[in-house]
Chain A
Amino acid sequence: MTRKLLVGPFNRVEGDLEIQLTVEDGRVSAARANSPLFRGFEMMLQGKPPSDALTLTPRICGICSVSQSKAAALALGDALGAWMLPQGALAAAILHGVENLCDHLTHFALFFMPDFARPVYAGRGWHDRAVSRFTATRGAALRPIVEARAQLFHIVGLLGGKWPHTLAIQPTGVTRAPDARDRIRIQTTLRAARRVIERELFGAAAEPFAALQTVAALESWPGGDAALFNEISADLRLDTLGVGPRRYLSCGAYPLDSGRVTASGVWENGAVSAFDPAAVQEDLSHAWMLGDAAHPAQGATVPDEDMAGPAYSWCKAPRLAGRTVEVGALARQAVDGHPLAVALASEGSVRARIGGRLLEVARLLTWLDRWAAALEPSARFMGDAPATADGAGAGLVEAARGTLGHWLRIERGVIASYQIVAPTTWNFSPRDAGGVPGPVEAALVGCPVGDAESTPVAVQHVVRSFDPCMVCTVH
Chain B
Amino acid sequence: MNVLWLQSAGCGGCTMSLLCAEAPNVFDTLGDGGVSFLWHPSFSEATGAEVLALLGALESGEIPLDALCFEGSVATGPRGSGRYHMLAGSGRAMLDWVRALAPRARHVVAVGTCAAYGGVTAAGGNPTGAMGLQWDGRQKGGVLEGGFVSRAGLPVINVAGCPTHPGWVTETLLMLADGTLGAQDLDGYGRPRFYADHLVHHGCSKNEYYEYKASARALCEIGCMMEHLGCVGTQAVGDCNTRPWNGQGSCTSGNYPCIACTAPEFEEPGHAFTQTPTIAGIPVGLPSDMPKAWFMALASLSKAATPKRIDVNAHSDRVRIAPAPRGQR
Q: Taking the nearest CB of chain A, how far is it from the CB of B8, in angstroms?
A: 7
| Interface-side segment among A43-51, A328-336, A392-400 | A43-51
Query: Does B250 sit within 8 A of A, measured CB to CB?
Result: yes
Taken residue by residue from 437 to 475, chain A's Cβ proximity to chain B (1 for < 8 Å, 0 otherwise) reads as 000000000000000001100001000000000010000
B interface list, Cβ under 8 A from A = 7-17, 19-22, 25-28, 37, 39-52, 75, 77-79, 83-90, 120-121, 123-125, 127-128, 130, 162-163, 218-220, 244-257, 259, 261, 267, 271-275, 317-318
A164 to B19, CA, bound (A): 11
19 contacting pairs across A/B (C-beta < 8 A): A9-B88, A12-B43, A16-B88, A38-B85, A38-B128, A49-B271, A49-B272, A52-B272, A55-B259, A55-B274, A62-B17, A65-B11, A136-B44, A154-B249, A157-B244, A163-B249, A381-B220, A382-B219, A471-B10
With known contacts A52-B272, A63-B13, A175-B254, A39–B128 Cβ distance under 8 A? yes
A14 touches B43 (CB 8 A): no
B88 touches A8 (CB 8 A): yes
A265 to B20, CA, bound (A): 35
Specify which of A49, A55, A151, A157 is in contact with B245 (CB 8 Å cutoff). Answer: A157
A110 touches B317 (CB 8 A): no
Query: Does A206 sit within 8 A of B, measured CB to CB?
Result: no
Query: Does A59 sit within 8 A of B, measured CB to CB?
Result: yes
A12 touches B47 (CB 8 A): yes
A interface list, Cβ under 8 A from B = 6-12, 14-18, 34, 36-40, 43-49, 51-52, 54-56, 59-63, 65, 106, 110-111, 114-115, 117-118, 135-138, 142-143, 146-147, 149-151, 153-154, 156-168, 170, 173, 175-177, 179, 303, 305, 307, 314, 380-382, 384-385, 454-455, 460, 471
Residue in A39, A164, A303 whose Cβ sees the most chain B Cβ within 10 Å: A39
Q: Taking the nearest CB of chain A, how far is it from the CB of B230, in angstroms?
A: 9
Which B residue's beta carbon lies closest to that of A457? B47
The 3 closest A-B pairs by CB, nearest first: A161-B254, A62-B13, A8-B88
A62 touches B127 (CB 8 A): no
Q: Taking the nearest CB of chain B, how far is it from the CB of A403, in angstroms?
A: 20
A6 to B48, CA, bound (A): 8
A39 to B129, CA, bound (A): 9
B254 touches A166 (CB 8 A): yes
Which A residue's beta carbon lies closest to that of B36? A137
B8 touches A37 (CB 8 A): yes
Instruction: Name the B residues within 8 Å of A143 (CB-CB).
Output: 25, 27-28
Q: Taking the nearest CB of chain A, how far is it from the CB of B71, in angstroms?
A: 9
A114 to B45, CA, bound (A): 7
With known contacts A37-B84, A44-B127, A382-B317, A165–B44 Cβ distance under 8 A? no
B88 touches A18 (CB 8 A): yes
Q: Taking the nearest CB of chain A, how far is it from the CB of B48, in angstroms?
A: 3
Specify which of A36, A150, A382 is in contact with B87 (CB 8 Å cutoff). Answer: A36
Specify which of B13, B220, B259, B261 is in contact with A177 (CB 8 Å cutoff). Answer: B220
In the complex, the number of residue pairs spanning A and B with C-beta atoms less than 8 Å apart equals 271
A163 touches B246 (CB 8 A): yes
Instruction: Name the A residues within 8 Å of B17 (CB-CB).
Output: 62, 163-164
Specify which of B40, B75, B255, B267 is in contact with A175 (CB 8 Å cutoff). Answer: B255
A55 to B272, CA, bound (A): 10
B255 touches A65 (CB 8 A): no
Instruction: Name the B residues within 8 Å of A149 (CB-CB).
Output: 19-20
A451 to B11, CA, bound (A): 36
A39 to B84, CA, bound (A): 7
Q: Taking the nearest CB of chain A, how far is it from the CB of B236, in angstroms?
A: 14
Which B residue's beta carbon lies closest to that of A53? B273
A9 touches B51 (CB 8 A): yes
With known contacts A150-B20, A175-B220, A305-B78, A158–B249 Cβ distance under 8 A? yes
B43 touches A153 (CB 8 A): no
A164 to B120, CA, bound (A): 14
A162 to B39, CA, bound (A): 27
Residue in B26, B48, B218, B248 whose Cβ sees the most chain A Cβ within 10 Å: B48
B84 touches A455 (CB 8 A): no
Instruction: Name the B residues within 8 Å of A163 (CB-CB).
Output: 16-17, 20, 245-246, 249
Q: Taking the nearest CB of chain A, how far is it from the CB of B314, in angstroms?
A: 14
A136 touches B254 (CB 8 A): no
Instruction: Name the B residues within 8 Å of A44 (CB-CB).
Output: 123-125, 127
Instruction: Name the A residues within 8 Å of B254 (CB-CB).
Output: 159-162, 166-168, 175-176
Q: Taking the nearest CB of chain B, how far is it from the CB of A460, in angstroms?
A: 6
A65 to B49, CA, bound (A): 31
Instruction: Name the A residues within 8 Å of B248 (CB-CB).
Output: 154, 157-158
A36 touches B259 (CB 8 A): no
Residue in A111, A117, A136 whose Cβ sees the most chain B Cβ within 10 Å: A136
Which A residue's beta carbon lies closest to that of B48? A455
Q: Taking the nearest CB of chain A, how far is it from the CB of B90, in angstroms?
A: 7
A173 to B77, CA, bound (A): 39
Q: Taking the nearest CB of chain A, how far is it from the CB of B205, in angstroms?
A: 11
A136 to B75, CA, bound (A): 30
A59 touches B219 (CB 8 A): no
Specify which of A16, A147, A165 is in contact with B13 (CB 8 Å cutoff). Answer: A165
Instruction: Name the A residues within 8 Å of B123 (CB-CB).
Output: 44, 56
Instruction: Name the B residues within 8 Å of A137 (CB-CB).
Output: 27, 37, 43-45
